[in-house]
Amino acid sequence: MMKTYTLAITLFLFSTSTLADVAVIVHPSNGSAIDATAVTKIFTGKSKSFSDGSKVGPVSQNASSDVTKEFNKKALKKSSSQLKAYWSKLVFTGKGTPPKELSNDAAVLKHVASKPNAIGFVSAGSVDDSVKVVQNY
């Protein structure tokens, strides 16, 4: 009985540790105020610019990645399937285009670090000095 209990706790701890925190990142020169509401508006296409008026270029990651699932759940309060349906409707009606999808954290870091108008999200543990964190989930 004790072995089963210990195994269950160990498995629980490992399964929860895989759900990493998500960091929303921008170019270091970006001085815009970006709160959780702004992040939601940007990643749902409801806002096309930063608070300073400059055009925003959001990037996402592959819909099946864990970091994307966490971002969708924590920041956008939607499942991947809800978000897919949302974007399908906007694209069909000509009212929006989803964020460009990149392959992984490294690709998002590289893109955001090289584009002053970019915003993206990565696993919090992947963040380096090439970008600035504006929100954590």
The predicted-structure confidence for 76-135, as pLDDT tens digits, reads as follows 999 989 999 999 999 999 999 999 999 999 999 999 999 999 999 999 999 999 999 999
- The architecture CATH gives domain 21-136: 3-Layer(aba) Sandwich (3.40)
Residue spans per domain, the chain: 21-136
Concatenated DSSP letters for 35-78? -HHHHHHHHTTS--B-TTS-B-EEEEE-TTSHHHHHHHHHTS--
Q: What is the dihedral sign for C-alpha 82, 83, 84, 89? A: positive
Residue 5 has pLDDT above 50, yes or no: no
Q: Is 94 exposed, middle or buried (0-12, 13-18, 19+ CB in 10 A)?
A: exposed
The pLDDT value recorded for residue 15 is: 42
pTM of the model: 0.84
> What pLDDT, in 10s, does the model give residues 23-37?
999 999 999 999 999
- Contact partners, residue 12, CB within 8 Å, separation at least 6: none
